[in-house]
Structure formats: structure tokens, C-alpha cells
Amino acid sequence: MDLVVTVTLIAGLFILLGAGVWIGLALLGVAWMAMEVFSPRSAGDAMALTIWGTTSSWTLTALPLFVWMGEILFRTRLSEDMFRGLAPWLERVPGRLLHTNIIGCTIFAAVSGSSAATCATIGKMTLPELKNRGYPEEITVGTLAGAGTLGLLIPPSIIMIVYGISANVSIAQLFIAGVLPGLLLALMFSGYIVIWALFNRGKIPIIAEHTTLLQKIHASRYLIPVVLLIALVLGSIYTGLATATEAAAFGVVGALAISGAQGSLNWQTFRDSLLGGTRLYCMIALILAGAAFLTLAMGYLGLPRRLAEWIGGLGLSKFALLAALAVFYIILGCFLDGISMVVLTMGVVLPTVQKAGIDLLWFGIFIVLVVEMAQITPPVGFNLFVLQGMTRREITWIARQAFPMFLLMIAATVIVYVFPDLVGYLPQHMRTG
């Protein structure tokens, strides 16, 4: 019976998704069918209560604010200023300006929260600049595809907020836990560029004129706005002065201040950023509501409990379980975006993970790392779509260039498993509001 119900629900979901129905509505439809056919409880009452309870959560307030902050910054000169401030310091590093992709994405990730926004914002400026200076397009596009995923791991992160709500884990703790793994992955990306550059010296353009130390320091003034914004948003969380929601509000005010100071804030950009943020949030909120109702329906049917018992009965070690989940999410990432992956699966996966004794805070970072891989796997890789629009290249070509970054993400996941303190150290030693 359980197998019949499970197959029926999965088939119904894929039929709706294949028909082009919005993900949120598809989830609601399948959940309603499950409640109506397989459960004695009224589907209508359960749907109304679940949707209201999910969308009216105070914790969820941080999500639209961070989305809006990213939309505001997307319409400023922030990325251009970052390039001007970083470029002089990279002249003597193997790979030179290729590192602007990594450093730029790392910095912008700390004020964005979205992988696609990070990739698009940095790529919009670095791709033409690096192409004009003679850097190979293959390594430029590949490293940008990988570095753009840092928008998910380095806080503030939209997907961390979604996971925190789904798993009932502190969002501020998740933000703090993502810092060291995010910096580790950024260093691994830069390390790859160094190694590639040492083996391909002839492909790196020669610098005609080096800047002096004074010129480098002078150019660093362009980094002041983004550094101040990062300090405002993340500093308020790490010091315990603000919750994630309050820090998001600070971020919006700071982003508006930067936009106003740069002269890019007018009624049109304000309106566009607000509408862009609203559209994205409404999409995410609908998916979250649908996923919450589907989780409730599965709970009434007892599917998560039985699945957890079945997996527990297999006697898998923690490593084997996590390896199986990683493969599962990588395959799922070929067809769904990261947020949908998280909200679709948490109702089933979390009981299994808890029964295996895996810390949910650590598991949140593990999930983000695996979802990062999905951003650069075809056919549904958001960063691949972004870069395809910028370069007019085939998605398969972009995916091939990003494959080394994919392997580095796998290596980072293994490192985080072997050294779990990379996730737990900062949350244990820092106060959060």
C-alpha cells in the first residue's frame, strides 16, 4: 500500500511539473490529492491552515528583505567598483585578474544571498573586462560558474533561510556556520586558478605596467561601500545585536544608502528593485506553502516515518547515508532548482537524518554544498542559464568548463565531513540574536 501511494504521488507530481504547472501549485495539487484520497481529514481545512501558518511566519520576513537588498545592489555600480578596487592587488598572483571572479563573487555573496544574482552581477562586469584583456574564455566562464554558487553558502543566503524554516534551525546559526566552509571553497577555487595558470603561463596576458603600493591603496577606496555593508549586515548578526530579520532590514537601508550615494537611486530603479524582489519572493513563498502542505500530507500518511525506518533498517553508516543523499540531490538538481529541492525533500529526509544522529545545523551546510553543485549541472542549472545569456554559448559547453569547480565542491563536501568543526566552530563561539 505504501509503495502504491508513494508511486502515485511521485507520478502525479511529475505529470503536473511536466505539463508546465508552477512548482508551488503542483505541490499543492499533489498534497490535496493525497489528503483527499488517502486520508480521512478534510483537505481544504488542512490546506488553508498550512498555507496561512507557513506564509505568516515571522522568521520568513528575512527572506523578502534579503531578496530586495540583492535586487537594489544589482542596479548599482557596486560590482564595477569592486573590480577597480581588487584588480591592482592581483597583478603578481598566478592567474592575475582571473581571481576577480572568485574574490568578487565571495564579496558580493556576503551582501546578496542568491547564486544567480551573484553570478549575473559579477559576470556582467568581469566577463567583458577579462575578454578585452585577453584572458581565455574557457577558464573565465568556468570559474565564474563555480564562484557564483558562493551566493548560496556565504551568508546571507536565501536557501539557508528556506532550510532553516523547513528544519526549524536557527537562521542566524546557519549564517555563521556557512562562513568558514564558504571561505574554504573560495580558496579552493583560487587554488585551482593558481595551478591552472602555472601550467598555462602562455595563456595569461602580460601586464604592461605595474601599479605602486600607493596606487593599490588608493584604488582600495572603491571597496569601502561593500565592506561597510557586509559589516552592517553580518556584524549585527555575529555580535548578537540583531536577528537575521533585523539584519536584513539593516541591509535594505544600507543598500538604499549606497545606491543613493552612487547616484543610481531614482524612482525607476527603486520600483524595479521592489517589483523584482516581490516577484522572486512570491515564487519562493508559493513553493514553500506547497511544500509545507505536501509535508503535512505525507505526515498523515506516515510515509516519512516508514521511509526513515526502512533506511534505518539498512544499517548504513553516516558516511554511506550522506553519500547516498549527495548522489540523490545531484541527480535531483539536474531537474529542479535549489529551493525546490530543499522544500520538496525535507519532510522525508529530516526524520532519516535525525534518526542517524546527524546534527541538523551541520546537515544544513551539507545540503547547501550539494545544492551548489546543482547550480552548474545541466539541464536545469541556474548559473548555466545566466552564463548562457551572457556568452551565447551552449549550456553543455559551459557545464564542461565548470566541471572542475563541480569536482572541487565534492572535495569541499568531503572535507567538511572529515572536519565538522569547520561548520560548528563559529556558531559555538559567537553570540547570535
Query: Which among 235, 177, 192 is positioned nearest to 368, based on CA atoms?
Result: 177
Q: How far is CA 394 from CA 122, 379, 400, 406, in A?
A: 20, 11, 10, 18
The confidence band for 335, taking pLDDT boundaries of 50, 70 and 90, is low
- Whether cis (ω within 30° of 0) applies to the bond prior to 40 is no
Q: What are phi and psi of 338, to 5 degrees?
A: -60, -45
Residue-level pLDDT at 431:
55
pLDDT digits (tens, 9 = 90+) for 222-231: 888 888 888 8
The confidence band for 409, taking pLDDT boundaries of 50, 70 and 90, is very high
Handedness of CA 149, 153, 156, 161 (dihedral sign): positive
pLDDT digits (tens, 9 = 90+) for 262-275: 888 889 989 998 99
* Cell numbers placing 52: 496561512
DSSP 351: H
In three-state secondary structure terms, 429 is helix
pLDDT reading at 348 higher than 80? no
DSSP sequence for 44-65:
HHHHHHHHHHHHT-GGGGHHHH
Percent of the chain with pLDDT over 70: 92
Q: Where are the alpha helices (DSSP H) in 112-157?
A: 115-132, 137-148, 150-153
